[in-house]
Structure 1
Amino acid sequence: MNHKAPIYLFLLLIVISPMGIDIYLPALPQMADNLQTPMANIQTTITLFLAALGLGQLLAGPLADRYGRRPLILSGLLLYIFGSAVAALAMQIEVLWLARILQGLGTCAVSVGVMSGVRDSYSSERTASIYSYINGVICVIPALAPMLGGWLSETWDWRATFYFMAGYALFVTLFSLLRLPETRPSNTISSPKLINWKQYQPILQSHTFRFNAGLVMLAMAIIIAFVSVAPVRLMVELDLDPTTFSLWFGSNALINILGSFTAPIIIRRLGQSRALKLAIAMCTLAAVSILLLQGVDSPIAFMGPVFIASTGFCLTLAICCSAALAPFSERAGTAASLLGFFQMAGASTLIGIVNFLPLGSLQMMALFMSLPLLWYVVCRRKSNYEVCEN
């Protein structure tokens, strides 16, 4: 019989995902010098982590439905600890690449376990709030982790950041052994084959899933585009120094934190359908604003629209993650993994495709900010299915 897992434990678990990137960013130049390798090779460690996190979703979901959420999360934590230790001891860049892949796969297992565990433990109305809180915690890490990582690398060296990752994951593992129950419902459907088209088919055939997963992917694309465009716009085009850039960049993390923790209040007052329309309207307003202000050489002319879009992003994730998984209580792990795949791998692929277009930094941001409205209009015209209910 499944039990309800405490919300605070899900929040502690989800921290390892953003920590896997943000805490060691200040140490990248030191890593390149220490390992005597070009900076491009060090930056590849980020790409490999995200690729493993995205692609691993397709395997982690079926594992969660077959063996349970608790074994998947604990196995992911152990893999993450092992990968962190290997990274801390790495003397060659190739070893560090392998370690980052292991960390990404471990993070993937934990993330899928958390997302499906929330779906198992709480009602569809409650999950929207919890997913918003999870997003808020994820947004806290980019604001705080780089400062901690900078202190660790300056006090000791870059390896200390990976030892810290391993230490935190070990703490959460011990806590999970004591407090994490198995939440998988007794009616969960699992396939004899881990990768089987038939297990994904009923999910992909769902209008509700396709609509909401598409919005989650496009919302995440806005954030990834911002991370890619912000250094170019602020430091190259507007000539800001690194300290000023960090303050502006970090301010968006604060907006995301505020938006994530106020989203449940807005959803309760407006209902999911109206709140989603508000979120899409905010992204559209941001797209129009950033184009109208593109002639203004001021950071606020860029960051102001980004703040608006980020608030819409917080609402979208809270509503659409819950709505996408709501119909699949009997296969929540597989559905959560497929949602995560679209969110990470889909958004990253979309960013890569758009990068080939002859667009400036502001035009690229405006394009991504306008895509949620386009998706909403196209999906609602094709089907009368109620994609997001109160």
Structure 2
Amino acid sequence: MQLRYSFRLYPSAGQRMALARAFGCARVVYNDALRVRETARAEGLPFPKAGDLSKLLITEAKKTPERAWLGEVSAVVLQQSLRDLDSAYRNFFDGLKDKRPRMGAPRFKSRRGNRQAVRFTANARWKITTGGDLALPKIGDVRVKWSRNLPSTPSTVTVIKDAAGRYFCSFVVETEAGEVLPEVMPEVGIDLGLSHFAVLSDGTKIESPRFLRRAEKKLKRAQQALSRKAKGSNNRNKARLRVARAHARVADARREFHQLSMKLIRENQAVAVEDLAVKGLARTRLAKSVHDAGWSAFVGMLEYKAARHGRTFVKIGRFEPTSQVCSQCGVKDGPKPLHVRVWTCGACGAVLDRDINAAVNVAKAAGLAVSACGARVRPGLVPAPREETGTHPKASRASGSQAGISVL
């Protein structure tokens, strides 16, 4: 299993200048290679190979006055930039062949991009010093804030500068299965929503944190200040950083899902969720709330933590009618408007909480042995069976729907 570990970097003023040169050189090589390939495509010429691009845009370019400054950074960074372009094209063509989700064609990188990154492989001879610094070629020993130990020796490191001006180093390491947690009895289904972030099949409701909504006032003021600044001015750049830092605080808050996801994995042997169509919901009037909820990040955390700790993770189809089926008797009662939070089953009379009922049905659809007792808000009256069994279709359907109902 591959895991990514990210740590905060604190480069000095000189190291920030060296990193800026590395980011700029990598961007120029990427854009030059993209320009050469797009020109060849427009003229109907063969697609240039990576080796030819490396010789033309790195080796030969360093000998020219216009690109002599490419020699000021590690050559590995420039080679990795070409590999990144190859990956972008490969992903684009695989999307056209339906081998992966579709994505746009590679685009030119901007000097004022929101995120900049360079990657150093083992060939660059980077290392972690005995003092805990990250030694990078032609940059120096950069101070790192280590929050945990790496499980194995990484072969590559990616240095990132985000939109808020913060620096990070990212390691991708191969790890074996993590600590297999002792087996426990509970199995849980999770219904994700907007009124509550998550509702569990045992009746537990987790409030929606509403990260973006809580920060909206500060973001609004920062964005208004940015819009008033003259384009290209230093004040506009400072205002842009303030907006980026406000967004970064929201993104950092969403990472608190790690605590909730780990708690669910520790306390349950199996976890089931619904495969939500986030892209479809993002085109509705609920788009802002959907993006603010961060469901995809949370589900991704559950999935990899379950695999790492020996738990079962199940994702059911998005077309399962979890909100329409009574978890007590299994009768489909039909769709309900969103404002209906509690409803009564027309077959067995159970009074059901919409979200808890859906969570129980998620667990049942995944084949988990959960108790449905949490779905009932209060006991409902079970309709008495009809005495007459006439031949009228409605009469026969009514009597048949009660045949398998047992009184709790």
| TM-score interval, normalised by the smaller of the two chains | under 0.3
Identify, as 1 or 2, the structure richer in helix. 1
Q: Which has the higher strand share?
A: 2
Question: Highest CA radius of gyration, 1 or 2?
Answer: 2
